């Protein structure tokens, strides 16, 4: 039998839960009442990364800083925190929560993440964060090009997955002459799809010359935390086919005097596709991640996902193998005994069919 939603109440009744000494504030679209308790009222809707319900356990607040709310939106806050969502002109109670994260600058609180003490039922989640139909989604025919023409595969994936927009500006003279074809193709794509220059771990618009135990190198991508970078030998001595698609070197802790440098499994053209898939997953608006489970449990995904013929990415860390479906990226990390699967999508509805597999989810945005 379908579960019923909790009874709706008026905004005034919701704010009254804050008790004595009520003060009313606004933080973006959210209304916050502060008294003996704290009340947060968010708008319903599918709003990934901005104010509102994100999934069954997380609610985000974004808006102009309200200094008076800083003590309220703190993990150690002594006031109970009650969360409501607007629905049909009234307010639906979502339960109590703790604040799990916010601005690192106390006087400039402009965002906060609330974690509900009890996950929302699917019925409540569908009511306050309805999942719209996805519409057209990117295809996966490019997978067939990975082994024969990885640069074309990269181009097809990027043009299909990332939104078109105003052509990006990459200044003349910022890249050295005679770059390998894969890097030249990537920078050309960046002019058409500027989102590829906004990765968490960026491909540098201006590659950096450096040197190390393996000779002079050109660093073309870096980790955002500065703990690793990726480079190729530079300058190339000749233009043999292997040097037009050179080996990629991973350097750990490049700021140290004697950093550890090791070769990546894939040459540059295939590595750039690996790297782009990984970063596309990181910045996709909708995410899902399973708990660790026995590896045989992922067998049903073989009928849904198409493996991308690339070696595991960052094998000494997560060692993720990529698979795809229309509008869906997946990374499987594990061995023959245990595995974790991470999914990313452009539309929440692309994730929703995965519920049929019965997995336990750390996060599920579908």
Which domains, from first to last, does the chain contain?
11-128 (2.30.280), 162-278 (no CATH), 284-364 (3.30.310)
How is residue 90 written in tokens? 């009234």
**Cβ contact 133:121 at 8 Å:** no
How many angstroms separate the CA atoms of 187 and 185, rounded?
6
| Average of per-residue pLDDT across 136-162 | 96
Per-residue pLDDT tens over the stretch 172-200? 556 777 889 999 999 999 999 999 999 99
pLDDT per residue as tens digits for the range 151-173: 999 999 999 999 887 655 565 55
Q: What pLDDT, on the 0 to 100 scale, is given for residue 242?
A: 53
**If you search the block for the tokens 């997953």, which residue do you land on?**
281
Contacts (Cβ under 8 Å, ≥6 apart) of 225: none
User: Given this model, what pLDDT does residue 104 score?
Assistant: 46
Q: Are strands 52-53 and 58-62 parallel, antiparallel or unpaired?
A: antiparallel
**Does the structure show a pLDDT above 60 at 2?**
no
Q: How far is CA 224 from CA 105, 174, 199, 203, 284, in A?
A: 20, 20, 9, 10, 17
**For residue 156, which phi and psi values (nearest 5 degrees)?**
-65, -40
Q: Give yes or no for a contact between 74 and 61, defined as CB atoms under 8 angstroms apart.
A: no
Token digits for 345?
Answer: 């999508």
Percent of the chain clearing pLDDT 90 (strictly above):
67
Tokens 């003996």 belong to: 36
CB–CB of 329/350 below 8 Å?
no
Q: Residue 171: what pLDDT?
A: 53
- The crossing angle, in degrees rounded to 10, of helices 150-161 and 181-192 is 10
Mean pLDDT score, 78-97: 96
């Amino acid at each position: 039998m379908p579960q019923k939603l909790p009874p709706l109440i008026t905004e005034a009744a919701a704010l009254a839960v804050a008790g004595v000494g009520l003060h009313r504030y606004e933080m973006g679209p959210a209304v916050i009442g502060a008294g003996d308790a704290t009340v947060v009222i968010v708008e319903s809707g599918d709003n990934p990364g901005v104010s509102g319900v994100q999934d069954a356990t997380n609610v985000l607040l974004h808006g102009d800083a309200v200094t008076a709310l800083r003590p309220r939106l703190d993990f150690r806050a002594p006031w109970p925190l009650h969360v409501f969502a607007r629905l049909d002109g009234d307010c639906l109670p979502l339960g109590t929560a703790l604040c799990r994260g916010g601005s690192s600058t106390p006087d400039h609180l402009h965002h906060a993440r609330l974690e509900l003490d009890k996950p929302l039922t699917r019925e409540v989640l569908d009511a306050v964060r309805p999942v719209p139909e996805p519409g057209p989604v990117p295809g996966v025919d490019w997978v067939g090009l990975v082994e024969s023409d990885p640069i074309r595969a990269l181009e097809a994936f990027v043009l299909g997955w990332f939104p078109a927009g105003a052509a990006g500006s990459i200044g003349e003279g910022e890249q050295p002459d005679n770059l390998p074809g894969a890097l030249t193709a990537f920078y050309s794509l960046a002019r058409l799809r500027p989102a590829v220059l906004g990765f968490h771990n960026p491909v540098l618009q201006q590659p950096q010359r450096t040197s190390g135990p393996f000779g002079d190198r050109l660093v073309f991508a870096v980790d955002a935390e500065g703990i690793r970078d990726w480079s190729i030998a530079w300058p190339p001595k000749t233009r043999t086919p292997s040097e037009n698609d050179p080996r990629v070197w991973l350097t750990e802790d490049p700021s140290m005097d004697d950093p550890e440098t090791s070769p990546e499994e894939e040459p540059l053209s295939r590595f750039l596709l690996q790297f782009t898939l990984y970063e596309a997953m990181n910045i996709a608006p909708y995410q899902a991640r399973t708990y660790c489970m026995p590896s045989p449990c992922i067998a049903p995904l073989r009928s849904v996902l198409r493996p991308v013929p690339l070696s595991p990415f960052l094998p000494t860390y997560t060692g993720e193998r990529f698979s795809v479906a229309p509008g869906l990226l997946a990374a499987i990390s594990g061995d023959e005994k245990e595995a974790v699967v991470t999914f990313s999508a452009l539309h929440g509805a692309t994730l929703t069919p995965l519920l049929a597999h019965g997995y336990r989810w750390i996060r599920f945005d579908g």
